[in-house]
Amino acid sequence: MTTLIPILGDQLSHDLSALDGADREDSIILMMEVAQETTYVQHHKAKIALILAAMRHHADDLRAAGWRVDYVALDDPDNSGTFTGEVARAIERHDPARIVVTEPGEWRVLNDMHTWADRFTQPVEIREDARFICDHAGFEAWAEGRKQLRMEFFYRDMRRKTGLLLDDDGKPEGGQWNFDSANRKPPPHGKLAIPQPLTFAPDQITCDVLALVARRFADHPGSLDDFAFATCRADALAQQAHFIAKALAHFGDYQDAMLTGQPFLWHSILSPYLNCGLLDPLELCRAVEKAFQNGKVPINAAEGYIRQIIGWREYVRGIYWREGPDYAQRNVLDARRALPGFYYDGATDMHCMAQAIGQTLRHAYAHHIQRLMITGNFALIAGIDPHAVHVWYLEVYADAYEWVELPNTLGMSQFADGGLLASKPYASSGNYINSMSDYCSSCHFDVKAKTGPTACPFNLLYWDFLDRNQAVLGKNQRLAMPYRNWEKRAAKDKETIRADAARFLDSLTR
């Protein structure tokens, strides 16, 4: 009795739920490179290359572990181009008695999978993805009846559930749950050597994929020139160990810092591997905890890092599935402006934007504060359509899958859900960027100038954003102070800011 087990490109884990209880003799694993997944948005070339190369390595690893793998390559002339079409063809080839699959990370694909039971004569079992700490029922139970879904309280529950960084009495290590206040230091400006992530020379499998991607996706954004991702679990584990040994100790301190020409700083660059399944989040957190217990890293680093994984990562996933497929359409600020073309080539005089976008196109990577306070902040205060912003983030980052990208972009960064994730919009003037980076000193614009042709666009747009959105945001208690300051301004000053902001916004479409 053969079982067909489709494994998707972000399910590259040996302990996947679809494999639970499966017999190697009686199972066929189906892996499919399909046109629809590579083009439903214009993914960055390096993102496609990472996923296809990791899929091919994982197929070899599974075969080495004794599984029978049926692998459909993108260039296979009979490739139908969709998951559903490939499952149909595999049924013809193998005549399985049943289909067992792990749920995907996107409503779009889940809805397709739900059609399989009607299309095919075989029974279809869609299993929950067990690679997360909080399952769907657990998140629902936590969220049920709460007025506000605060990440901090969810995170404490996840600490209790995993026991991570708890002492023998079940109390948080270091006497408090959260050390975020210690984690907002400006960049160290040359006082500390900056570690670099490992780079992995492509082997033959990855070289073949790089050639395929260069040929088939030449019109997609981004470059393959700097491709250096790990494409197998062993190399991803090497990057995990390297991060813990070389960068974790200062991760907390400089988590929010930004420096010209330094894309990675003390960040881990592990999200691409966590999200496609090469690394396991709990295994990573236990390794980080061990580094703290062995005195190798301070508590603000270990706690700060673990909070991102068992807190934020799990929390945004819970929100994605709880809010449903129409979450992607929300737009409470009614923002309608088109995404400026420079998001795709980095050609702008705003040095902070050119840096964040430039490294994104080169490495398919930017760290959290660049995503939130540079490219996200700009889109928010310029009034860009949040759906267009969401598509851009889904396209350009190697770690982007809808379950994690959408709540971060639409909710946290664009406030398009009206404050479900963020109690106030992450909007700021140039001051914040100047305090957390060295960007402004090399910029065409003047961060100290509030109006006029050389004024930092973030200064103009910040006040214009508050003004434009007063009807929706004016009652937000956390914005009371900026709104009071705006009200105190002379009418003439307000008019100048509005006119300068309008001129700048007009220039974006020219």
- Under the binding rule (CB under 6 A), the answer on residue 270 touching ligand FAD is yes
- Under the binding rule (CB under 6 A), the answer on residue 267 touching ligand FAD is yes
Binding at 330: pick from ligand DLZ, ligand SF4, ligand FAD, none (beta carbon under 5-8 Å per type): none
Residues numbered 203-242 forming contacts with ligand FAD, rule: CB under 6 A: none
SS3 219: coil
What is the x/- site pattern for ligand SF4, positions 327-356, by CB under 6 A?
A: -----------------------xxx----
- Under the binding rule (CB under 6 A), the answer on residue 279 touching ligand SF4 is no
Encode burial over 200-224: b for 16+ CB neighbours within 10 A, e otherwise: bebeebbeebbebbeebbeebbbeb
User: Would you tell me how many other CB atoms lie within 10 Å of the CB of residue 379?
Assistant: 25
DSSP H or E segment with residue 27: strand 27-32
CB of 5 to ligand SF4, least distance (A): 49
- What whole-number distance in Å separates Cα of residue 434 and Cα of residue 451? 17
CB nearer to ligand DLZ: give 82 or 431.
Answer: 82
- Under the binding rule (CB under 6 A), the answer on residue 37 touching ligand DLZ is yes
Among 19, 46, 101, 109, binds ligand DLZ (CB under 6 A): 109
Angle at 292 between CA 288 and CA 294, to 5 degrees: 115
Binding at 104: pick from ligand SF4, ligand FAD, ligand DLZ, none (beta carbon under 5-8 Å per type): ligand DLZ
Segment contacting ligand SF4 (CB under 6 A): 30-38, 316-324, 331-339, 442-450?
442-450
- Rg over alpha carbons for the chain, rounded to the nearest Å, is 24
- Under the binding rule (CB under 6 A), the answer on residue 380 touching ligand SF4 is no
- Under the binding rule (CB under 6 A), the answer on residue 462 touching ligand SF4 is no
- What whole-number distance in Å separates Cα of residue 28 and Cα of residue 123? 15
- What whole-number distance in Å separates Cα of residue 133 and Cα of residue 115? 28
Binding at 106: pick from ligand SF4, ligand DLZ, ligand FAD, none (beta carbon under 5-8 Å per type): ligand DLZ
- Under the binding rule (CB under 6 A), the answer on residue 468 touching ligand DLZ is no
Segment contacting ligand FAD (CB under 6 A): 128-136, 364-372, 436-444, 485-493?
364-372
- What whole-number distance in Å separates Cα of residue 102 and Cα of residue 20? 10
- Under the binding rule (CB under 6 A), the answer on residue 33 touching ligand DLZ is yes
- Under the binding rule (CB under 6 A), the answer on residue 34 touching ligand DLZ is yes
Q: Which residues contact 154 (CB under 8 A, 6 or more apart)?
A: 134, 142, 311, 314, 315, 318
SS3 176: coil
Binding at 314: pick from ligand DLZ, ligand SF4, ligand FAD, none (beta carbon under 5-8 Å per type): none
| Cβ(232)–Cβ(278) below 8 Å | yes
DSSP H or E segment with residue 32: strand 27-32
Binding at 376: pick from ligand SF4, ligand DLZ, ligand FAD, none (beta carbon under 5-8 Å per type): ligand FAD
Binding at 43: pick from ligand FAD, ligand DLZ, ligand SF4, none (beta carbon under 5-8 Å per type): ligand DLZ
- What whole-number distance in Å separates Cα of residue 443 and Cα of residue 459? 14
CB nearer to ligand DLZ: give 33 or 417.
Answer: 33
- At which residue do the structure tokens 């149909």 appear? 88
CB of 446 to ligand SF4, least distance (A): 6
Encode burial over 452-469: b for 16+ CB neighbours within 10 A, e otherwise: eeebbbbbbbbbbbbbbb
Using a 10 angstrom Cβ sphere, with 0-12 exposed, 13-18 middle and 19 or more buried, the burial of residue 164 is buried
For residue 306, give both structure tokens.
């673990």
Among 9, 104, 277, 457, binds ligand SF4 (CB under 6 A): 457
| Cβ(3)–Cβ(26) below 8 Å | yes
- Under the binding rule (CB under 6 A), the answer on residue 42 touching ligand FAD is no
- Under the binding rule (CB under 6 A), the answer on residue 319 touching ligand DLZ is no
CB of 390 to ligand FAD, least distance (A): 9
Residues numbered 38-57 forming contacts with ligand DLZ, rule: CB under 6 A: 38, 43, 48, 51
CB of 122 to ligand DLZ, least distance (A): 20
CB nearer to ligand FAD: give 348 or 370.
Answer: 370
Among 4, 5, 8, 404, binds ligand DLZ (CB under 6 A): 8
CB of 125 to ligand FAD, least distance (A): 28
Specify which residues 259 forms β-bridges with: 262
- Under the binding rule (CB under 6 A), the answer on residue 371 touching ligand FAD is yes
Q: Helix 233-246 to helix 45-64 angle, to the nearest 10 degrees? A: 110
CB of 372 to ligand SF4, least distance (A): 14
DSSP one-letter string for 43-77: --HHHHHHHHHHHHHHHHHHHHTT--EEEE-TT-T
List residues binding ligand FAD (CB under 6 A). Answer: 267-271, 274-275, 305, 308-309, 312-313, 316, 367-368, 371-372, 376, 393, 397, 399-400, 404-405, 408-409, 412-413
List residues binding ligand DLZ (CB under 6 A). Answer: 8-10, 32-34, 37-38, 43, 48, 51, 104-106, 109, 401
